[in-house]
Structure 1
């Protein structure tokens, strides 16, 4: 009986809740009957509203009674409808193009266009409107859709039709690639603090994924002088009403119109220089108040944007009260093409239910984002009721089709069929390609067997040899993306006739990780890994330069990594037996008369004297780094602290313990490092630096292997790191004393090259940098360099100086692969 009463109560309450709302829906078109995509629909004097979809269809939930509804879109005259809603209604609306008149405006030769007076007033008020609102909250709905508009039949030897069938494309290789929706509660507090709590998330084709939609990513603010668009451009873009906007833009008044008793100025933006980081399009400014009413702006290839050809930004504002206007919607439309693939899409954010006096607590803003495990659990019924922007027919079909595909993709039969095709051994790929990587996707188990070509090597210590690696990993939590990994490695040199083997395991714990590594191996004398296996093999065989110096180690290493808030810590303990090695081979493809191999002792290259005697070492290492950040984001996979405006501070301590387990070493070293890689300097680009200083507190018994080593480069190619040198010898500058190390690099982000027509299209970034090292033995070592960067490719030229005298110079190239 009690269950029946509860059920009846639930039905009555549910009926009452739904009865409180009626649905207004319809279609918005222009006079020719064409849909007006994403037109805004709002109730007058409220922040309750919605947007039409790309087909002009809208729906808005309202309480029964009388309402004044505004239908509007950028470039159209708004329509007001007085409605008495007692039940669901279907109302279609025709929006006519807005008429902007230039009457009573006289433009004389050699005088400013009237738009300049409007813009100057808007610039004067910019800072006020930027800081007008102390705090607010709003509900934000975001929908994102990306479509493939065309594709070749084959790409890199792979049949695109087969891939298209797996991801839901049609027979012409067209269709939706990504479709997602999300709801969030957005909070804001001066100065510039945001907090976002995602309420729900839906991704077409996946019941487990979380959408990429972030309200903070959609928050473009033209009241800022410069607008950062990370990933789209290395340069920020100049706002049309920035303090120095008149240096970058020309303006033309296209006309004025009246809306709700207020005059709106329609102003065209014309870049003074096509390559400047500026917008094109139209901005609408309210007369007298000089605030932004709306904007319809775009960026093109001329602005040197990456990945897309065109990005259109449309933003609309609504009055929240008598004094404040807030964004009602912002939309990004994009299109582009690459290697025969054509794509396009949009992201739209809809803002509702503003509260300008929410009484926020500053402490809550330590968490800038919260995405819980439950946000993607909402079912179809929930989204049908909650979704403010109707789905188009294409989007409805995509959800249904992708849901069926997702169910199929998660079945054991389907996954086994994919694995069966993938797990076939391809001899050529195993020999010279990516190796052999079988998997069991249903059990989430993955195997990796390296290719033979990447395992072969030559060095003068071992001769020709093989260094083969294989690993096994298992995903133990898909939400937190935690993997259990085991790796085994064997190594054998034909000339040295010695065999080595090692095994490692990486075991994730709840909020930490344990790493175990044991066995025997041949290792670099420098713990900074001077030159990779392939690079040393090429230099040895073809240029007769055996740059890599090696020793033998039999070891056991245990490491534990754990974060404590924004402090990252790691503790490791290692026992090793270390033996010096000597050259056993002098084979070379080219026998250069002016060059010969050096010994395996980098400090005495002309002698085969062992660099050290065989010894045992037990060492502990501790590192703690602090990001000076109290802000964090909470994801289903855990809590992650956000980058700080301050540098990252690192503290390191290393201790060699004599006598423990027969250890011979007795020393201790402490060091500090300070680094920051994203110092933004506006239109001048961005900088990065790394500073390090350390000292051996005692060195009663220390071997060369335990010295402080530095990241040097002695070859044309190198791997860029923030604390790497370009011309430093791999081994000769290592120290067992105190040291000071500094690195600085500035990326001008095209500030110079964008002004040169022939170079502009290459989208090159200019680099300049400086490196410094000081030790008691070498006194002063410095490097200066300059060059270019494109994506991950770098080409640099520089000079090095030792104690004021030129030591080396030349080119350095990095691919970043």
Structure 2
């Protein structure tokens, strides 16, 4: 009797367990002509459980046994509800009918306005309500990315494209295939945290997918849609507050879906080249909310890198008439340098929880978390959890690239590649650095390119600057590096030997210890002026020796670490001996040619003393504050997002009049800065404001003055905080200063309206810089000097040309062009 009871209980347990297991409903979705309907959304009615078909119309939905109403939905087709009883794995094909939106007889106003306008106005009036109605939620997100080459040139830079990109004989194929699963969390107004659960990239078993659910978080309830990378401007939503200024609308018809009337409205740009969408938007009547969108951007919208971008969204109710996306797709096509490509990213949102209980401190600035085991899931895991089935082409691509990647991880292959890469080649070394790797010991030795090791200046004459960097690192990005340096001037016969070392012991918190010991020849402007190579060309070809040098012998040790999110501290202590240097080469030309000047920047006509030989014991400390700092955490470190707010850096420097130090002063400064502040359709702005003062300057010598990022070359540094025309040395101060920089990039807002110019997709810029400071002469101070520059510029990718004018007080001192190229 006991045995029978035991067997009965076991049987009941097995039956119960069987019904707790998931089964798979799968099939193919086609239209009436048998053609597949790709990326159809499939979800269970009155739930947020769902999936999507792949680009061949194949789908699979994992659910528990039971009876369900399954909804099949895709833009352009009539929604279909299938009543299914599922007891085990079920094959169920579905045929979708083309959508039929009836255009009923409607009355128009006296102006003959299309009824779509009334619908849009009501939707615009509800825009903000729908944008903010959900205060918090969490959900699961599956993201898949695919990019294909449709055609390609045979060779590029002498290399066989087919072999390099592993394409078929027609130079076609998938070049990028990735999948990821994440748990996404949101709390109003803008707090997010995404935890990646799994990640897979074809052929890259140790890499982390760059798929991020947050990158697909695109809400047309926002007035402006930003698409990072495609343009620096935003795009007007069809239901933005000012949308009627940019769009015309046409009601294509209405349909009743699940008891709700849905309006299909065509959105049409009023002007061809405005930053707007084209396509259709579906609005739920009465609720005046988005049901779905099928919109696209084209070249006329001034997007970069791709020719067309299609955005598709499907919304479903998640709570009491609150709707959220269930499916999002970004599909793109383009052609560049003979490569024709297309691809897509899709996001499937499921298992919404609209009443999450986030613990205190859950949103701590970490917007993305990727743990070590995320990319270690095997094919069995993916076959059981992948919501969108792979196509035959994708399955083949995974196998081919993973097999190839497996071959590339063998000892024989890696050894051969390392030997080839480590092979020294004379001609490339003339212009590029040489690196010698040892993958077994995780070490690298880097030798700078030859042109960086030979230079010429009027202080040293021809000189060698030999250095090499040894680096040893581990998989967590902890790293030790040391750079010994030998420098010798053949004219002044001065030999310098030094070594710089650092150890990054805590990559997550930017923890580093660093130091330097030895002698060196340094720029009198500690912010830098011209590189040794550029100065060599200027001196030898144009008799322009802008670079001014001095001798430094020092020992220094420092450390930095983030003490809490958003506060990075840095401190260092240095004891140094400073010695003035004088010109020893081309002295005859210095006397004959006014272009060549002495090594004293404050007295260009004569080799006079700028400062005596002196010693200094100096402490430097800084604190960088980044408010609401956001970052992604990966096993190999922490990676920071651009700051949404201005950052603040406080600096303090103290020279002690002790232990033989000849200097004695206190200096403090504050820097407030921010890059790329979005200004809607008008592009973005950047600024920097800095002020500083020597509070106690009992003794301070020129190398330790406050210097500025000047420029006297045709080329320039475009970073905010640098000047276009400011002389490198004369404006340096040992009293106090105020400095300001502002730049605005219109991102094509103006030139987009000029028919001939818009084809170049140029970005127009304006900017200004200002500096005022006191000059100290002995115990006396001069009145404040005021320096101002104004400039305009044009930019396209890494190229930029500016034209500006500079004034010292009211006197124009410079005028001309400046050029930047980012390589």
- Superposition TM-score tier, normalisation by shorter sequence: over 0.9
Match of 1:810 in 2: 816
Structure 1: segments with no counterpart, 5+ residues: none
Match of 1:129 in 2: 130
Farther-moved stretch of structure 1 (698-707 vs 773-782):
773-782
TM-score computed with the length of structure 1 as normaliser: 0.94
1:25–1:491: structure 2 CA closer, same or farther, 3 Å change rule? same
1:525–1:594: structure 2 CA closer, same or farther, 3 Å change rule? closer
Match of 1:83 in 2: 84
Q: What secondary structure is seen at the aligned counterpart in 2 of 1:672? A: strand
Matched, 1:58 2:56: no
Distance in 1, matches of 2:709 and 2:718, equals 10
1:783–1:18: structure 2 CA closer, same or farther, 3 Å change rule? farther
Farther-moved stretch of structure 1 (82-91 vs 513-522):
513-522
Distance in 2, matches of 1:474 and 1:176, equals 36
1:36–1:356: structure 2 CA closer, same or farther, 3 Å change rule? same
Distance in 2, matches of 1:372 and 1:551, equals 49
Displacement after TM superposition at 1:643 (Å)? 4.5
Q: What secondary structure is seen at the aligned counterpart in 1 of 2:77? A: coil
- Any residues of structure 2 matched to 1:497-646 within 5 Å, and which? 497-510=493-506, 511=509, 512-565=511-564, 566-586=566-586, 595-629=594-628, 631-639=630-638, 642-646=641-645
- Any residues of structure 2 matched to 1:37-76 within 5 Å, and which? 37-76=38-77
Contact preservation (8 Å) 1:410, 1:442: no
1:481 to 474, 477, 480: 477
- Any residues of structure 2 matched to 1:226-237 within 5 Å, and which? 226-237=224-235
1:767 to 765, 768, 773: 765
Distance in 1, matches of 2:157 and 2:351, equals 50
1:758 to 731, 756, 781: 756
Distance in 2, matches of 1:620 and 1:349, equals 52
Contact preservation (8 Å) 2:643, 2:674: no
Farther-moved stretch of structure 1 (791-800 vs 11-20):
11-20
Farther-moved stretch of structure 1 (407-416 vs 217-226):
407-416
Contact preservation (8 Å) 1:435, 1:450: yes
Contact preservation (8 Å) 1:210, 1:376: yes
Displacement after TM superposition at 1:320 (Å)? 2.1
Displacement after TM superposition at 1:642 (Å)? 4.7
Match of 2:119 in 1: 118
Distance in 1, matches of 2:14 and 2:426, equals 67
Displacement after TM superposition at 1:753 (Å)? 0.7
Distance in 2, matches of 1:659 and 1:251, equals 78
* Structure 1 residues 146-188: Cα deviation after superposition (integer angstroms, max 9, x where no partner): 2233222221233324423xxx433333322222211112122
Contact preservation (8 Å) 1:797, 1:810: yes
Distance in 1, matches of 2:234 and 2:378, equals 40
- Any residues of structure 2 matched to 1:169-188 within 5 Å, and which? 169-188=167-186
1:118–1:301: structure 2 CA closer, same or farther, 3 Å change rule? same
Contact preservation (8 Å) 1:544, 1:592: no
Displacement after TM superposition at 1:127 (Å)? 1.1
Distance in 2, matches of 1:17 and 1:655, equals 74
Distance in 1, matches of 2:307 and 2:731, equals 48
Match of 1:493 in 2: 489
Farther-moved stretch of structure 1 (142-151 vs 50-59):
142-151
- Any residues of structure 2 matched to 1:183-202 within 5 Å, and which? 183-202=181-200
Match of 2:3 in 1: none
Match of 2:334 in 1: 336
Displacement after TM superposition at 1:44 (Å)? 1.4
- Any residues of structure 2 matched to 1:287-306 within 5 Å, and which? 287-306=285-304
Matched, 1:786 2:792: yes
Contact preservation (8 Å) 1:629, 1:643: no
Distance in 2, matches of 1:790 and 1:592, equals 44
Distance in 1, matches of 2:512 and 2:292, equals 50
TM-score computed with the length of structure 2 as normaliser: 0.93
Distance in 2, matches of 1:310 and 1:404, equals 34
Displacement after TM superposition at 1:275 (Å)? 1.6
Q: How many residues align?
A: 802
Displacement after TM superposition at 1:282 (Å)? 1.0
1:259–1:420: structure 2 CA closer, same or farther, 3 Å change rule? same
Q: What secondary structure is seen at the aligned counterpart in 2 of 1:708? A: coil
Match of 2:414 in 1: 415
1:811–1:282: structure 2 CA closer, same or farther, 3 Å change rule? same
Match of 2:681 in 1: 683
Over aligned residue pairs, what C-alpha RMSD do you find? 2.4
